[in-house]
Amino acid sequence: MRRMDDPMYAKAYQSYSEQRQRCLNPRNKRFKNYGARGIEVRYERQEFIEWWFRELTKRPTWRDPTVGRLDHGGHYEFGNVRLEERSENSKEMRARIGSIRPLRPILIFDQNADLVYRAPSVKDAAAWVGASPGNITAVASGAYGCKTIRGYVVRYEEDACVSSR
């Protein structure tokens, strides 16, 4: 059983507490971006901490893990959260608020040109396809004559010509 004197346990506990504060406390300075938009924490503390350590064992070299949401409009719930390095989460957060660059949605099509997924960012598209973000970017932009990756056609949403069927 892990305890609060374990730095990683304390970090997991703090992460859960901060999520709840952002979603439940109207006096929290970030409430307007979370709780006021209806975003909820949909797991219990102990479930979250157990999940944290299961995920952390897959990434033993990480020193500063944090929780990121796959769908930034979605709730804090299993299936919509991932453990990531704080530096990656910070880059994505700055991109969402415009200090780096806005996120560019990616459309993923099957070989029949049917849309199968709309990813909110290159990072999310990479996770869905099972490829690196760099490879997704290369294929989406048409670099090196690449047209597909892992059997999928990927395009930036603003570049795709999508017809309704």
Same domain, 71 and 113: no
Tell me the DSSP string of 40-75: -B-S-HHHHHHHHHHHHHT-TT-SSEEEEESSTTS-
Two structure tokens written together for 78: 């299993």
Q: Is residue 53 part of a domain?
A: yes
**Mean pLDDT (whole number) for 132-155:** 83
Count structural domains, the chain: 2
pLDDT exceeds cutoff 80 at 88: no
Yes or no: say if 139 and 147 are a contact pair by the CB < 8 Å rule: yes
Res. 93 pLDDT band, cuts 50 70 90: low
What whole-number distance in Å separates Cα of residue 16 and Cα of residue 44? Answer: 9
Same domain, 73 and 12: yes
The pLDDT score that the predictor gives to residue 58 is 84
Same domain, 154 and 81: no
Same domain, 25 and 45: yes
Same domain, 88 and 119: no
Instruction: Report the relative pairing of strands 106-109 and 153-156 from DSSP bridges.
Output: antiparallel
Same domain, 84 and 123: no
Yes or no: say if 78 and 70 are a contact pair by the CB < 8 Å rule: no
Two structure tokens written together for 69: 């949401």
Same domain, 45 and 114: no
Same domain, 67 and 130: no
Same domain, 18 and 63: yes
Each residue's pLDDT tens digit, 56-73: 888 877 778 889 888 888
Instruction: Report the relative pairing of strands 106-109 and 115-119 from DSSP bridges.
Output: antiparallel
**Residue 132 is part of which domain span?**
106-159
CATH code: domain of residue 132: 1.10.10
Two structure tokens written together for 123: 């990072």
Each residue's pLDDT tens digit, 24-56: 999 999 998 898 888 999 999 999 999 999 988
Neighbour count for residue 84 (Cβ, 10 Å): 19
Each residue's pLDDT tens digit, 96-130: 554 445 678 899 999 898 999 998 888 889 899 99
The pLDDT score that the predictor gives to residue 89 is 60
Most confident of 59-63, 89-93, 107-111, 138-142: 107-111
Res. 134 pLDDT band, cuts 50 70 90: confident
Same domain, 92 and 140: no
**Mean pLDDT (whole number) for 149-163:** 80
Same domain, 19 and 44: yes
